[in-house]
């Protein structure tokens, strides 16, 4: 049985963008809460100026990370850095507003929840440990070492940290359940039910991504478009169950012949597509011939009869045969049908 891929939400561009927007809202909420505290709290003017300076610096940081072109694109390291800066700001504010007696201590929950949702268990645990270290430093700066490490003071620390550990753990578990549900939904949405290859939508998404990478790095890649030559005959002679077995046999053959970086998909009906990264037309032609030869040599038994098949394959290579997904598939399809009209079970490279 083929193991289903596990998709992490924080590896998906759309999900990352959503996380980034949420983190930005949390950061602005943090700023609003601290500004409100500056207004209503009983704080000395010199301390208020220090805190206001820290808030201005944090606001500039948020604007730089979320609105400057260089940092606008979301990624995991950026989200992690933002949560660490949030912890730094909160610690700075707590230091100047009563340390362990500060009313702002509960703001530590914001980066913990953010990390648990977007970054996972390990990062969340590291942040809880950092917050614990900050709490110890806030309470025992300048105190003798035996007091800091005493049993009673350790109990106080653990009692204070326990709610954060609990919130981080529960939030992480909930986010993992969401990840698994998302993984299952995405697998079903991107997989052909019969062959368990990628479906047409998933293949087109991968092809567009490959085009973007090739344009940036000036790389080449090839696309194969194959059409089963005798599916209709098998369906008419043995029924659709035999036809389904034939399609599964073709899919298994693709898995056997391709590299780990290659991607095969059922494009629709009896058509299959293959994406070959970093492969020029000559290499793609060798792969296509290997697919054809192994498929012709393979067979399966159905109700006492031996069923064989063959396949016609067209090849298109970026950039010589097109610089868009539609152009590449059109040229591969045209090459396949030109050769198929001449003689089935052939491999053809698109004309330049």
pLDDT in tens, the chain (352 residues): 344 444 455 556 666 777 788 888 889 999 999 999 888 888 888 888 889 999 999 999 988 887 775 555 667 788 888 899 999 999 999 888 888 888 888 899 989 888 888 887 888 888 888 888 888 777 765 444 444 445 455 676 677 778 877 888 888 888 778 777 777 787 788 888 888 889 999 999 999 999 988 888 888 999 999 888 888 888 888 888 888 888 888 888 888 888 888 999 998 888 899 999 999 988 988 988 888 888 877 777 888 788 888 888 889 999 888 889 999 999 888 888 876 666 554 555 655 4
- Residue 194 within a domain: no
Verify that 27 and 171 share a domain, yes or no.
yes
- Residue 195 within a domain: no
Verify that 130 and 215 share a domain, yes or no.
no
C-alpha 148/C-alpha 138 separation (Å) is 11
Cα 250 to Cα 35, 43, 147, 224, 227: the distances in Å are 65, 74, 72, 14, 10
CB atoms within 10 A of CB 219: 14
C-alpha 169/C-alpha 124 separation (Å) is 8
- Residue 1 within a domain: no
C-alpha 314/C-alpha 345 separation (Å) is 11
**Domain count across the chain:** 2
On whether the CB atoms of residues 220 and 214 are closer than 8 A, the answer is yes
| Domain end residue (candidates: 143, 165, 189) | 189
| pTM summary value | 0.61
Range of the domain at 68: 9-189
C-alpha 115/C-alpha 121 separation (Å) is 8
Phi and psi, residue 277, nearest 5°: -65, 145
Verify that 30 and 164 share a domain, yes or no.
yes
| Domain end residue (candidates: 154, 189, 224) | 189
Verify that 204 and 177 share a domain, yes or no.
no
Verify that 14 and 137 share a domain, yes or no.
yes
**Residue 74 DSSP one-character state:** -
Verify that 42 and 169 share a domain, yes or no.
yes
- Residue 3 within a domain: no
On whether the CB atoms of residues 50 and 89 are closer than 8 A, the answer is no
On whether the CB atoms of residues 279 and 287 are closer than 8 A, the answer is yes
**Closest listed residue to residue 43, CA positions, set 102, 125, 92:** 102
| Domain end residue (candidates: 189, 217, 235) | 189
**Residue 198 DSSP one-character state:** B
C-alpha 110/C-alpha 63 separation (Å) is 19
Verify that 119 and 15 share a domain, yes or no.
yes
> How long a stretch of residues is the chain?
352
Q: Are strands 311-318 and 347-349 parallel, antiparallel or unpaired?
A: parallel
What is the structure's pLDDT at 114? Answer: 86
What is the structure's pLDDT at 87? Answer: 93
What is the structure's pLDDT at 211? Answer: 92
- Residue 155 within a domain: yes
Report the CATH number that the domain containing residue 209 is assigned in CATH.
3.30.70.270
- What distance lies between CA 311 and its chain's CA centroid? 34
Helix (H) or strand (E) holding 190: helix 151-190
Task: Go through 262-290 and write b for each residue having 16 or more CB atoms within 10 A of its CB, e for each that does not.
Answer: bbbbbbeebbbbbbbbebebeebbebbee
- Residue 335 within a domain: yes
Cα 263 to Cα 119, 141, 171, 180, 307: the distances in Å are 29, 58, 35, 23, 26
In the three-class reduction of DSSP (H, G, I as helix; E, B as strand; rest coil), residue 191 is classed as strand
**Closest listed residue to residue 83, CA positions, set 52, 53, 59, 116:** 116
């Amino acid at each position: 049985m083929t193991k289903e891929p596990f998709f992490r939400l924080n590896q998906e561009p759309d999900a990352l963008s959503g996380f980034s927007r949420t983190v930005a809202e949390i950061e602005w909420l943090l700023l609003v809460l601290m500004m409100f505290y500056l207004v209503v709290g009983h704080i000395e003017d010199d301390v208020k100026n220090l805190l206001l300076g820290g808030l201005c610096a944090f606001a500039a940081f948020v604007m730089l990370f979320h609105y400057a072109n260089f940092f606008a694109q979301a990624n995991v390291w950026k989200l992690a850095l933002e949560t660490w800066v949030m912890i730094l700001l909160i610690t700075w504010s707590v230091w100047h507003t009563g340390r362990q007696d500060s009313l702002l201590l509960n703001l530590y929950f914001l980066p913990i929840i953010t990390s648990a949702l977007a970054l996972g268990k390990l990062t969340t645990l590291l942040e809880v440990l950092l917050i614990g270290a900050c709490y110890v430093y806030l309470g025992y700066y300048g105190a003798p070492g035996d007091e800091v490490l005493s049993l009673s003071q350790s109990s106080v620390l653990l009692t204070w940290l326990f709610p954060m550990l609990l919130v981080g753990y529960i939030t992480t578990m909930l986010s993992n359940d969401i990840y698994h549900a998302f993984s299952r939904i995405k697998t079903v949405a991107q997989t052909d039910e019969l062959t368990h290859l990628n479906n047409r939508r998933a293949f087109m998404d991968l092809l567009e991504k490959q085009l973007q990478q090739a344009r940036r790095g000036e790389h080449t890649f090839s696309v194969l478009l194959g059409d089963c030559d005798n599916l209709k005959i098998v369906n008419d002679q043995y029924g659709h169950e035999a036809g389904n077995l034939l399609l599964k046999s073709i899919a298994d053959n693709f898995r056997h012949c391709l590299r780990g970086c290659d991607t095969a998909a059922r494009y629709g009906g009896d058509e299959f597509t293959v994406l070959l990264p970093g492969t020029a037309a000559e290499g793609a032609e060798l792969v296509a011939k290997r697919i054809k030869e192994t498929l012709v040599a393979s067979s399966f038994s159905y109700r006492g009869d031996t069923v064989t098949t063959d396949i016609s394959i067209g090849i298109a290579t970026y950039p010589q045969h097109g610089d868009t997904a539609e152009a590449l598939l059109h040229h591969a399809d045209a090459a396949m049908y030109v050769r198929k009209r001449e003689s089935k079970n052939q491999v053809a490279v698109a004309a330049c």
